[in-house]
């Protein structure tokens, strides 16, 4: 009687880390695809990585038309993005959170913009997609306090 219960618990313990690893791989592939879409200046490509009701929140506002937002970004000088993912938290097989930083390269001033980001991912149509991205400006490095200033 205890043996089936024990085996069931053992299989559950193995399935959770495997699921988490699978989702982490999916999100890393999504990150690469995002960078590639931006590098190609393809707003439709970026939008395809979001859910049908996906949004982006950034210092300029809340945007639900991802394709139009990115077309505007490219028109205004965005060239590429280098994304670093610091943490991924799989919450289920269909839901995950992540956060990290990104360096946006531009052809107009400022030539480089560094940001913090957080995202919610959900499974839609069998694949993980961005449901919401929140972007905040990364402050410049702190200057050391001068000992002779009082």
What are the boundaries of each domain within the chain?
2-137
Assign 125 to helix, strand or coil.
coil
Q: Which helix (H) or strand (E) holds 85?
A: strand 78-92
SS3 content of the chain, % helix, strand, coil (to 5): 35, 40, 25
Q: What integer pLDDT is reported at residue 58 of this predicted model?
A: 95
Q: What integer pLDDT is reported at residue 15 of this predicted model?
A: 45
Average pLDDT over residues 16-31: 84
Answer for the pair 104, 115: CB distance below 8 angstroms, yes or no: yes
Band of the pLDDT at 14, cuts 50, 70, 90? very low
Average pLDDT over residues 14-32: 80
What pTM was estimated for this model as a whole? 0.80
How many CB atoms are closer than 10 A to CB 82? Answer: 14
**pLDDT surpasses 60 at 66:** yes
Average pLDDT over residues 67-81: 97
Answer for the pair 104, 28: CB distance below 8 angstroms, yes or no: no
Average pLDDT over residues 17-38: 90
Band of the pLDDT at 33, cuts 50, 70, 90? very high
Q: What integer pLDDT is reported at residue 20 of this predicted model?
A: 77
Distance CA 70, CA 44 (A): 8
Q: What is the tally of helices (H) and strands (E) in the chain?
A: 3, 6
Q: Is 43 exposed, middle or buried (0-12, 13-18, 19+ CB in 10 A)?
A: buried
- CATH number of the domain located at residue range(s) 2-137 in this protein: 3.10.450.50
pLDDT digits (tens, 9 = 90+) for 107-144: 999 999 999 999 999 999 999 999 999 999 977 777 76
């Amino acid at each position: 009687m205890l043996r089936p219960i024990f085996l069931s618990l053992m299989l559950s313990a193995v399935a959770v880390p495997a699921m988490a690893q699978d989702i982490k791989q999916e999100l890393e592939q999504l990150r690469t695809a995002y960078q590639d879409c931006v590098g190609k200046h393809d707003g439709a490509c970026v939008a395809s990585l979001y859910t049908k009701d996906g949004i982006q929140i950034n210092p300029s506002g809340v945007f639900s038309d991802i394709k139009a937002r990115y077309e505007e970004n490219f028109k205004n000088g965005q060239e590429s993005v280098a994304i670093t993912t610091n943490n991924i938290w799989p919450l289920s097989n269909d839901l995950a959170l992540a956060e990290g930083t990104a360096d946006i390269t531009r052809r107009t001033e400022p030539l480089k913009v560094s940001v913090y980001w957080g995202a919610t991912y959900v499974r839609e149509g069998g694949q993980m997609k961005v449901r919401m991205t929140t972007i905040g400006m990364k402050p410049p490095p702190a200057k050391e306090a001068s000992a002779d200033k009082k």
